[in-house]
Structure 1
Amino acid sequence: MEKPSVTQRKRLKIRARRMLTRRVLPFVAALFLATPMASPVSKSMAHASDAPTRMPSPDAMRAAFFDQQLHDMYRDLSVEQQGLRYEVFEKAMTGYLNLEKEGKLGDKKLLTVIDFDLPSTEKRLWVLDLASKQVVFHTLVAHGHNSGENMATNFSNENESNMSSLGFYVTQGEYIGKHGRSLKLQGVDEGYNTNALMRSVVMHGADYVSEDFIRQYGRLGRSLGCPALPMDQHAQIIEAVGNGTCLFLNGNDTSYSSKYLDQQVAMNTLLSNNS
């Protein structure tokens, strides 16, 4: 019998930890929600053991509950099998909850995630319905011409850079432009994508976003910075996500930071939503 590789062993350990966490955390979370503060241990109970019994702090319980809820959502959406990594999903959800707390989002419970850490030959856009826990769309998406060839490695907020811009966006209204039906995007991460409207960085369809183009050229075509979509899906996606939904564009840039990645705000918002 073949010995499992180091990678396989690591994956098995991670899965085992997740299974243990999923069994224990619901009880801890329920205890926290039902009992805000643990009552003092009586003297008679204290004598029963030399080691004092310590309850997790409220902050630790909130963090555990938040982590459990996000892992459950990730599992229910079944996006791991589609290539959406948990760490990207976690960032996207954290930003979504922060934007929701600020009142920047509409009533649609949709979250769009684009992962430019993946090559253009892979489907790297997901539209997630957080209410029904379903993947509404999973498809190809192009990056900016100067961001890279098959892989997007360079990002910019500058006008005429022809690069994609990382971070969180809130979708605006649609219009008919030179690319036909298009959707305006308002960047909300200062210094990273706040010039999106001025740069006309929008969602639109493009014939260079297709499996046929990949077969011919080995990669997708590239835009001037827009997240361009397949022609046979762009209208449906624009209609679904328009007017006040969250878009998160992830990429490999260690300098990227966002005030919307405040986990404390996200935890409080999620707890409020579940109360």
Structure 2
Amino acid sequence: DGISKKDILALDQLPNDNKLKNAVESQYYYDLSKINNAHAKFNNIFDDQGKMKLSPKVSDINYQDLRQGSTGDCYFLAALTSLAQRSPQKIVEMVKDNKDGTFTVKFSDKSVTVKAPTDTELGLYAEGKAWVPVIEKAYSVYRNETIFLSKENPYDKSGGGSMITGRGIKDLTGSNFDTDLLMATSADKTRAKLKSAVSNNKMMTASIAKNPFEKNSLGLPDGHVYSVIGYDEKTDKVKIRNPWGKTEAHDKSGNTRDGNDDGICELSMQEFNKTFSAIAYQN
């Protein structure tokens, strides 16, 4: 499948169809660029023999390594970020290198074994250390099997950008979750639940509903799920992270508040309640 260099050479022999030639060549070199970019992004996760290396060290698990690619699974990556932040040991425990080019990933109710991601898959999926694309690929298969979808191409069906805010929490841990609609929840109740979740090291994710008519004043993408990575009682601010690893709240001039566009920012409780639609707390 796809366009090979051999196809390009054969296409050159066809007469009088420059438009088709240009379109095919453009697609070929675009795809080639994505593969080359994947090598550049992930060159630190392969050993000298070209095999993917998976470190068993908790110290190598950093939630900021995770940066979403082009698949619509923000709800899962937001939860995975939260798990990596709060319980990095669980990331180490859930992934096993089978030493034969495959990896087994344990989710809440079953384990999934997948081959190491290909170059093309690395170009599609989230950036980060080896654990990131391996878990994301396995989750694609897990979701397909769970919802009885065709397994021909797991990357097309890893959740489809689901806005079920806490689904990733349950799939990763098996824990149930509470979801509050912020417009129907008092700020004091949200404060209390944030405080409890932080104190008990619980995962949290929050979503901004899609609004085709108006963008929020903070410049945060909508139709999107974020990790809630902290709450400061003294300042009454909620710390969030965009799984893209960039694009955070900005000021009126379009600049990030801390001068560092890493997807992490703090919002006042008023801003959080006004901008976000729902928040999910791990039970």
TM range (shorter): under 0.3
* Structure number, greater radius of gyration: 1
TM-score by length of 2: 0.26
Q: Return the TM-score normalized by structure 1.
A: 0.27
